[in-house]
Homo-oligomer: A and B are copies of this chain.
Amino acid sequence: MSDYTPPLKDIKFLLDHITPIEELAKLEAYQAIDAESVEGVIEEFGRLMSDVWAPTNAVGDAEGSHVEGDEVITATGFKEAYAAYAEAGWGAVPFDEAYGGGGFPWLVGIVLQELLNSANMALAMAPLLTQGAIDAILHHGSEEQKEKYLLKMVSGEWTGSMNLTEPDAGSDVGALRTKAVKQDDGSYKITGQKIFITFGEHSFTPNIVHLVLARTPDAPAGTKGISCFIVPKFLVGDDGSLGERNDVHIVSVEHKMGIKGSPTCVLAYGDNSDGATGYLIGEENAGMRYMFTMMNNARLGVGVEGLGLAQRAYEHALAYTRERKQGFAPGAARGEKSFIIEHPDVRRQLLTMKAYTESMRLLAYKVAEQIDVARHGADEHVRTAAQEMVDLLIPLTKSYCTDVAETVTSIGISLHGGMGFIEETGAAQFYRDCKITQIYEGTNGIQAMDLVGRKLPMRAGGVHQDQISRMKATVEELAGASDELAVIHHELVAAVESLEEAANWLLAEGLADPVQALSAASPFQRLYATTVAGWLMAVQALVAKRQVDAGAADADVAAVKLVTARFFAEHLLPQVHGLVAPVKAGKGDLFALTADQF
């Protein structure tokens, strides 16, 4: 009954050749793993996603969630699907064995995230946000906090939630006003209200560990005065037993355009007392710094939401184009209606979906691999280089995967014709779910500011130059390759040139005048990300050609990848040339009008 089949062959191709597990397995930290066991893990997980999770996706969209008294009622099947996931220990896979984790690379965790998001993005947010809370406690919590909270969160027995946003503090986190007052016993009393808290309340698990940003009375203004607290739904005794209900309560859930199955909560702290009990993580006023440690993972996670939605939308549309007959395609037997997949413009749209989705996967997996190397690489130099690559690619990956997912899910609707607009068809949900990914965890505009303001200037442009060098090395390889790859070579050369032209302008102009950089940030981000995506498609094409020529076991998969790589090079990559002028326009006319003149 499931309409979702995990793209195991595509994933395997990447884990064999592009971000090879065998290479990661050479690192000290991952000596216990090997490609075969990873493949087994992914296959088994894929069955759970396909059989149990995927069928709950449309249900969640139709039923949403609602508040009854002090509880949030989630959609039919959600609690059971979460339980199946948690009981099997899936949440633990990419975490440190010291805290009950599976000790797998983050890359494997990202593969699982792709599958989670394809199966049911709304429900996937419960583990995803838990992961954020785990990250914060893991890196900044005390041993006692790790003992008390972390183990149960890694195991999935409890979930976590992230409480950052307030009505006047969204993109500007520093403006938050929730208060935290220290008590004699070292705990804090938290009062205030938080919005947009994903899975801030539910009945999946007996406890929820809220991570809350708040301000102590004498804290400095802005981001420098933010502290981070653990506020458990039920207080936890030293023996791990659940005690008193904490004064954090659900106010309402939002009525959203998508991810309706995921309760987006307004939570009130201390409405019925002098405050909810919270426990400081690390030091006071260091909260924003702690948030930054988890930011890369969280942003990559949102990019992977885009990837998961795109993959599912593609499969959904593909199935329809293979079974729907309409009109006569060129070359069809006389009087014989054609499956719509045989129409040229339908093929163009399908290949657009497919090539874009492959490029998103390449980008996301590459970043995940580099996160693993940055953590566990053999020497300092390797680790630093990997971390730099991660830092550069994170805004590109978050924005590209979510912006492109909008395009892919939109095409998915269109390929169904008028039926695509009817909710029962299922195509519309992916599109509605997708839109939020461009906005949360830092809007794509904020990603662009990060790119031009922090990432491009790293090492005076040196980190960027390293990326250019990597791409030029691929260009070199392509130059000597076969005619089949000529168009890829040609288009990649041109794209890298456009990127360099834009980047050089930015490095010269933008650093002198930050308004220039901020004005050019978004088109530059799209230009840069598309070029990197095109580069990874080219890298994949080189491997694919080798596999085909060698008649390797995966030559059939490789043959398809040659086609999508050429399609990407000819149809999608050339967009970059239209983005150079917008970058170099800079602040130009942006401030030519007063606010009233708009």
Chain A contacts to B: CB under 8 angstroms: 165, 168, 170-172, 175, 196, 254-258, 318, 322, 325-327, 330-331, 337, 339, 341-351, 354, 406, 410, 413-414, 417-424, 428, 431-432, 435-436, 438-440, 443-445, 448-449, 491, 514-515, 518-519, 521-523, 559-560, 563, 566-567, 570-571, 574-582, 585, 587-593, 595, 597-598
B344 x A256 contact (CB < 8 A): no
For A445, the chain B residues whose CB sits under 8 A away are 345-346, 349, 414
B431 x A414 contact (CB < 8 A): no
Q: What's the minimum C-beta distance from A221 to chain B, rounded to whole angstroms?
A: 8
CA–CA, A198 to B345, complex, Å? Answer: 27
CA–CA, A589 to B175, complex, Å? Answer: 52
B571 x A523 contact (CB < 8 A): yes
B574 x A589 contact (CB < 8 A): no
Question: Which of the residues B256, B349, B566 comes within 8 Å of A423, measured between beta carbons?
Answer: B256
Question: Which of the residues B325, B410, B514 comes within 8 Å of A435, measured between beta carbons?
Answer: B410
B406 x A410 contact (CB < 8 A): yes
B567 x A589 contact (CB < 8 A): yes
Q: Provide 17 A-B residue pairs closer than 8 Å at the C-beta atoms, listed in order of the A residue.
A: A170-B417, A171-B327, A254-B422, A255-B422, A322-B595, A330-B518, A343-B518, A344-B590, A344-B591, A345-B449, A345-B518, A347-B590, A350-B598, A414-B444, A418-B436, A418-B440, A571-B581
CA–CA, A406 to B406, complex, Å? Answer: 10
A345 x B521 contact (CB < 8 A): yes
Known: A414-B438, A593-B560. A255 touches B577 (CB 8 A): no
For A410, the chain B residues whose CB sits under 8 A away are 406, 435
Most buried by B among A175, A444, A571: A571
B571 x A585 contact (CB < 8 A): yes
B581 x A574 contact (CB < 8 A): yes
For A422, the chain B residues whose CB sits under 8 A away are 254-257
Besides the known contacts A322-B595, A348-B522, 10 further A-B residue pairs in the complex with CB atoms under 8 A apart: A196-B418, A256-B421, A414-B439, A420-B435, A421-B439, A570-B589, A574-B582, A575-B578, A577-B577, A577-B578
For A579, the chain B residues whose CB sits under 8 A away are 574
Known: A518-B330, A590-B347. A585 touches B570 (CB 8 A): yes
Question: Which of the residues B327, B580, B587 comes within 8 Å of A172, measured between beta carbons?
Answer: B327
CA–CA, A345 to B256, complex, Å? Answer: 25
CA–CA, A354 to B443, complex, Å? Answer: 21
A570 x B598 contact (CB < 8 A): no
For A570, the chain B residues whose CB sits under 8 A away are 581-582, 585, 588-589
A345 x B522 contact (CB < 8 A): yes
Known: A257-B428, A344-B587, A595-B341. A417 touches B435 (CB 8 A): no
Q: How many copies make up the complex? A: 2
For A170, the chain B residues whose CB sits under 8 A away are 326, 417-419
For A567, the chain B residues whose CB sits under 8 A away are 588-589
Q: What's the minimum C-beta distance from A408 to chain B, rounded to whole angstroms?
A: 13
B515 x A344 contact (CB < 8 A): yes
CA–CA, A417 to B166, complex, Å? Answer: 13
For A593, the chain B residues whose CB sits under 8 A away are 560, 563
Closest to A331 in B: B515
Q: What's the minimum C-beta distance from A505 to chain B, rounded to whole angstroms?
A: 13
Known: A571-B523, A595-B339. A589 touches B566 (CB 8 A): yes
Q: What's the minimum C-beta distance from A598 to chain B, rounded to whole angstroms?
A: 6
Closest to A571 in B: B582
B424 x A439 contact (CB < 8 A): no
Question: Which of the residues B254, B318, B423, B581 comes within 8 Å of A257, measured between beta carbons?
Answer: B423
CA–CA, A257 to B448, complex, Å? Answer: 31
B580 x A255 contact (CB < 8 A): no
Closest to A592 in B: B563
For A597, the chain B residues whose CB sits under 8 A away are 559-560
Closest to A259 in B: B421
Question: Which of the residues B418, B514, B519 comes within 8 Å of A165, measured between beta carbons?
Answer: B418
Most buried by B among A165, A330, A444: A330
For A566, the chain B residues whose CB sits under 8 A away are 588-589
